[in-house]
Structure 1
Amino acid sequence: MPVITALIALSGHIALLLWGTRMVQTGIQRAFGPSLRSFLGRTLSNRFKAFLAGLGVTAILQSSTATGLMASGFAAGGLVDLVPALAVMLGANVGTTLIVQVLSFDVAAVSPALILIGVLMFRRAQNPQIHDLGRVFIGIGFMLLALHQLLGVLTEYSDTAAFQAILGAISQMPVLSLLLAAALTWAAHSSVAVVLLVMSLASKGLLDPYQAFALTLGANLGTAINPVVEGQTGHDLSAKRLPVGNLVTRILGITVVFALLEPITAWMTAIDDDGARLVANFHTAFNLAVALVVMPFLTPFANFLVRMMPQRLDETDPGHPRYLDPSAKETPVVALQAAAREVLRLVDVLEDMLAGTKAALSSTDRRALSLLRQKDNILDRLNTAVKHYLTSIDPEELSEADRQRLSEILLFSTGLEHAGDVLDQNVLPHLAKRLRRGFKFSEEGQRELGRLIDRLGSNLRTAAALFMSQDERVARLLADEKIVFRKAEREGTDEHFRRLQKGDVETAESSSLHLDLLRDLKQINSHLVASTAYPVLERQGELLQSRISQQNGGRPVLN
């Protein structure tokens, strides 16, 4: 019975440690994720800046997996060279050791204060960023509390026969221990949590330094597996170059260090005999050593990865461009037609997203929302491919008409991508919130939103026709739709308030969601109009630069 109680207590405290680690990661990603991704993308110009950026971003995110997935996305999309992307991963591996260094000191006493501050920020703050940072403080507090409780349980049950038998098995089979730690880290998605657990055992003398170091090497192996498993899938092996390269460097480093583990252990224990500090220092030293050794050889290593994993296009992948023929760039007029045809694929994807959004107004299927978010990723990938294709055409080969058409294609492609972003970042989260809270739109409200989405679909098809024809008559029709949507939003808001006054319960529950959706749908329509109708009308001199014109002796008059 005591053994069962001890296992339940250990499992609970480990679960709290994992949950605290996850809260820190998700809180930081929600608060600073887009900024960190942009920062990472800007620093991938050379290996040294990329190494420091990977270290810094991971130190903030506390997830080398998250950094690895971001860098893999850049590399797989051809946005950065493989060499700086590999350098990012080396930096990320060092960055993830920093919180272990901090928590190797006895700072458990501050956990209640951190949780209190975090709860106040999470519940009271109107600023979404402060709200998310509150989540981070709560997570750190949970991690410290879990570590403190772990130490208590380990101390209480350290002399039991079952516990000694487990530790004895670990000490007799260091290779198996390494693989066990790797499996735990892969399953937990957190090398930080596993290394902190090892550190807790070592601090109480329950693991000798050699055992602790072997388990720490396993945690470093496990965390390199996650980006390989969770990265982009498909038949194109080139998308796996970065995570596989990171895994290979880890395996090579672990093999060498494991072979030399006995002299390394003797040297490090001669410097410091504190178990927790030993684990933290070994963890950091291992990743620093791997980075220093591998950094000079990144170029030949990257070339090797390219040869071993050549790019293979998967024709069934909807995110892969189908019509962007590189050889056509020698004849710009053909290349522009190919790019225009590719942009029409974005129209099809966005139309599917709108249809799925309408269905989600009443659906209870959470998976459908996840599938819609994946379609936004397809929009992003296709838009990026179109932009790179068009900007790689030699400007000297373009006539004035070609330059104008190139601008039209880029503008429409970007407008479609922005419309998809509004769906992904605004509309879908509102619909997800409806599911979480169990709300329903009133029948009238649902019909109203459905009609607007249908109208958006019709306007999207009109925008696609205008994109191909550049007919000013179609441009006027589409531009008028902006007025229609403005009027529809105003009338919809008035109708919504009338239903509230009648005491409609469903309307009251979903009030803020309904009004937000009206605004978001109008914004999507604005992107469609601005990216197609406005350029045509501006060329014809039919578009005012401002809605305020100068009349009556210079006095501003609204048009």
Structure 2
Amino acid sequence: MLDLCGAVALLLWGVRMVKTGVMRAFGPRLRLWIGSAVRNRVAAFGVGIAATIVLQSSTATAMMAASFTAGGFMSSMMAQAIMLGANIGTGIVTRLLVFDIHFLAPLLIATGVVSFSFSHSKPLKGFCRALLGLGMMLLSLQLLGQATEPMRHAKVLTALMAALEAVPVLAVAVAAVLAAAASSSMAIVLLAMSLATADTVSPMTGLALVLGANLGGAIPPLVATLRHQAAARRVTFGNLLVRLLGCILLLPFIETVSALLSKFAVDPGLFVADAHILFNISIAAIMLPLLRPWSMLMRKILPDAPGPRSGPLHLDAECLDSPALALAGAARETLAIGDRIASMLEMSLEALRINDISRCASIADMDDEIDRLNSAVKLYLARLDRPRLNIGEADRSDDIIGYATNLEHVGDIIDRNLCELVEKKIRNQLSFSSEGAAEIEEIYNLTFSNLRMAQSILLSMDDHLARKLVKAKVDIRHLEERSAANHMSRLREGIVESIQTSSLHMDMLRDLKRINAHIAAIAYPILKRHGLLRESRVVAVGTER
């Protein structure tokens, strides 16, 4: 049993390494390729098969399809077609692994380790990681065969398999639980193949385990999208429901079907692999023509329920005839963008304080939403009839667009720079010195204050607040300079924490300074209109001292 558990664990880790390696090497291209599969259901079906063969994980394909659907880049019907293909792709991978290519395991592992050690680019390292994972999978299959060989004489296992054979529904439930716990239907199917090869399970029990593995494999993607939009949940829930219906339809005839299929299978292990493929092909043949009504049914079961931040809430097209109302709505939407920026800053600071990398997990999604809201605000204001606007309204429109654009830049800095620095600190288990941590947190707190002031300026357009914000930006610059100087002093003193986090400290200061520069940008047009803005900070030649 210990050998069996170790072999299954090695198989799961190999599958994980192949998936992460392929995503790191070809992730952007793969996403683009999957996203392009929206022309028709047959093309989407084929892309689902191919993507799952490459990734060796229908869960990964499901998550990408769900994210595309949630983002509006793919219809629910096309996503369901991709999932039908993904289920078959898993079966094809399982069938390919049956071939006697175990001799490649040490070669792939050695090649993966050596190549990874001498690779420098991220895509090449990802490819080497995938090779290493594939070698681990082949090795685990060999270990599975060795571990299950003595089991045919084990009385406990024989009694357990007899109980499962007497109650096929129980076998389906057990396999479903194992597949859900392992987040891999393929691993459970391969385990069932090993048991069948060792004559531990009958063809009927093997088929029941295949049904359970398919059912349980659809649970992890559903759990992962529970907090996502309804569009994403419809993809994963629809996939689970399709597999459940397939199991329900086949269970009453499982003895007859297993007896029929076993006549054409020479090897018990091949019977399990072929049954896995045939089950998913049968489901695809039934569901592909019915995807449109099926998608409509999923929409009724899981209707869209817009949350407080599911999209633009204040951009009413009917107000475009009234510039004052349209500008007020655009300003309110831009304030909502500012609130999201504040949340992103709070999450990054909290992750920095308590070394919790999960706090950064939703920042990327929030940045994507900010990008969409920023585009919506600009497109909305672009629809205003510019010649009809008076000078004040035209200036107001420009101020809103400028502030929204600067907030979008702030979101990018938080997502692509600050979060990466926070994650680097956590991954490498680094700690700032107490003085350095206090300095960074002080700049964070001043940034929160400046953001609140900028939000007030957008509403009031008050020139006194604008002058105060510009002064606060100067204070941030001075604080950043003092913190950098203090950091250099700590380096000269040989403080270990400062030496280890030197680049992190300086980069965070730089990024927070850039964020404050974008926040303060709203003040300059207001000060310029009031004649309170100099053209340059450089002292004129005639006034030099």
Same fold (TM over 0.5): yes
Mapped contact 2:196–2:203 kept (Cα < 8 A): yes
Q: Is the 8 A contact 2:377 2:401 kept in 1?
A: no
1:446 aligns to 2:437 (yes or no) = yes
Encode CA deviations 1:143-166: one digit per residue, 9 max, x unaligned: 222221111011123212122222
**Unpaired runs of 5+ in structure 1?**
1-6, 545-559
Distance 1:265-1:36 versus aligned 2 partners, 3 A rule: same
Alignment of 1:242 onto 2:242 = no
Task: Tell me the equivalent position of 1:302.
Answer: 295
Is the CA contact (8 Å cut-off) linking 1:217 and 1:254 kept in structure 2? Answer: yes
Structure 1 residues 284 and 327: alpha-carbon distance in aligned structure 2, compared to 1, 3 A threshold: farther
Q: Which residue of the partner structure matches residue 399 of structure 1?
A: 386
Cα deviation for residue 87 of structure 1 reads 1.8
Deviations 1:42-85 (A, max 9, x none): 43354333333333333333332233233323334444322222
Show the counterpart of 1:509. Answer: 500
Distance (whole Å) between structure 2 residues aligned to residue 407 and residue 47 of structure 1? 44
Instruction: Name which of 419, 424, 436 aligns with 2:415.
Output: 424
Secondary structure at the residue paired with 1:438? Answer: coil
How far apart are 1:181 and its partner, in Å? 1.0
Kept in 1: contact 2:350–2:359 (CA 8 A) = no
Q: State the 1:396 CA deviation.
A: 6.5
Structure 1 pair 275–255 and aligned structure 2 pair: CA distance change class (3 A)? same
- Who is 2:189 aligned against? 195
Give the Cα–Cα distance (whole angstroms) in 2 for the partners of residues 523 and 285 of structure 1: 57
Tell me if 1:93 matches 2:87.
Answer: yes
User: Percent identity among equivalent residues?
Assistant: 36
Task: Assess, with a 3 A threshold, how the Cα gap between structure 1 residues 119 and 220 changes in structure 2: closer, same or farther.
Answer: same
Distance 1:266 1:244, change over 3 A: same
Q: For 1:61-210, what aligned pairs fall within 5 Å after superposition? A: 61-210=55-204
Question: What secondary structure is seen at the aligned counterpart in 2 of 1:86?
Answer: helix
Contact 1:336/1:390 (8 A) holds in 2: no
Per-residue CA distance 1:213-258 (angstroms, 9 max, x = gap): 2211211111222232221438x75653222222222222333344
What secondary structure does 1:205 align onto?
coil
Q: Secondary structure at the match of 2:279?
A: helix
| Pair 1:397–1:431, CA change in 2 (3 A) | closer
418-427 vs 85-94, greater mean Cα deviation: 418-427
Judged with a 3 Å threshold, the aligned counterparts in structure 2 of structure 1 residues 189 and 414 are, in CA distance, closer, same or farther, namely farther
In structure 2, do the counterparts of structure 1 residues 452 and 168 end up closer, same or farther at CA, with 3 Å as the change threshold? Answer: same
Match of 1:16 among 10, 15, 26: 10
The number of equivalent residue pairs is 529
Cα–Cα, structure 1 residues 365 and 461, in superposed 2: closer, same or farther, change >3 Å? same
- Residue of structure 1 in register with 2:354 after alignment: 364
Matching residue's letter, 1:204 = A
- After superposition, the Cα gap between the structure-2 partners of 1:526 and 1:269, relative to the gap in structure 1 and judged at 3 Å, is farther
Q: Which residue number corresponds to residue 373 of structure 1? A: 361
CA RMSD of aligned residues (A): 4.0
Separation in 2, partners of 1:64, 1:213: 20
Check 1:389–1:346 CA distance in 2 against 1; reply closer, same or farther (3 A cut): closer
Distance, in Å, in 1 between the alignment partners of 2:187 and 2:196 is 14
C-alpha distance 355-246 of structure 1, shift in aligned 2 (>3 A): closer
Give, as a single letter, the amino acid of the residue that structure 1 aligns with 2:168. P
The answer to whether the 8 Å contact 1:115/1:137 transfers is yes
> For residues 178 and 441 of structure 1, do their structure 2 counterparts lie closer, same or farther at Cα, with a shift above 3 Å needed?
same
Deviation string 1:160-205 (CA, Å, 9 cap, x unpaired) is: 2122222222222222111211111111111121112112222333
Distance 1:206 1:47 in 2: 40
Q: Residue 523 of structure 1: CA displacement? A: 5.2
1:89, distance to aligned residue in structure 2 (A): 1.9
CA distance in 1, matches of 2:521, 2:30: 29
CA distance in 1, matches of 2:516, 2:234: 40
Which of 346, 350, 359 lines up with 2:341 in the alignment? 350
Unaligned runs of at least 5 residues, structure 2: 536-545
CA contact (8 A) 1:51 1:91 kept: yes
Deviations 1:285-332 (A, max 9, x none): 3223322321222112222222333323345xx556543456656767
Secondary structure of the structure 2 residue equivalent to 1:300: helix
1:212 Cα deviation after fit: 1.7
Aligned residues of 1:380 and 1:417 also touching (Cα < 8 A) = no
The equivalent residue for 2:222 is 228
Answer yes or no: is 1:285 the counterpart of 2:258: no
The match for 1:256 among 236, 249, 260 is 249
Partner of 1:550: none
Question: Which residue of structure 2 aligns with residue 549 of structure 1?
Answer: none
- Cα distance in 2 for partners of 1:510, 1:321 equals 40
For residue 306 of structure 2, give the secondary structure of its aligned residue in structure 1. Answer: coil
- After superposition, the C-alpha distances for 1:495-527 in whole angstroms (9 at most, x for unaligned) are 645533432211122234334434444554566
CA distance in 2, matches of 1:336, 1:310: 32
Amino acid at match of 1:381: E
* Residues 1:168 and 1:314: Cα distance change in structure 2 (over 3 Å): same
Paired letter, 1:307: K
Distance 1:512 1:325, change over 3 A: same
| 1:213 and 2:207 aligned | yes
Q: Give the structure 1 partner of residue 540 of structure 2.
A: none
* Residues 523-538 of structure 1 mapped to structure 2, 5 A cutoff: 524-525=515-516
Mapped contact 1:320–1:382 kept (Cα < 8 A)? no
Matching residue of 1:554: none
Compared CA separation, residues 75 and 390, structure 1 to 2 (3 A): farther
CA distance in 1, matches of 2:63, 2:317: 28
1:111 corresponds to which letter in structure 2? A
In the alignment, is the contact (CA less than 8 A) between 1:390 and 1:406 conserved in 2?
no
CA distance in 2, matches of 1:226, 1:358: 30
Question: Secondary structure at 2:354's aligned position in 1?
Answer: coil
Instruction: Name the residue aligned to 1:551.
Output: none
Residue type of the partner of 1:273?
V
Summarize the Cα distance change of 1:332–1:37 in structure 2 as closer, same or farther, 3 Å threshold: farther
**1:535 and 1:93 mapped to 2: Cα distance?**
58
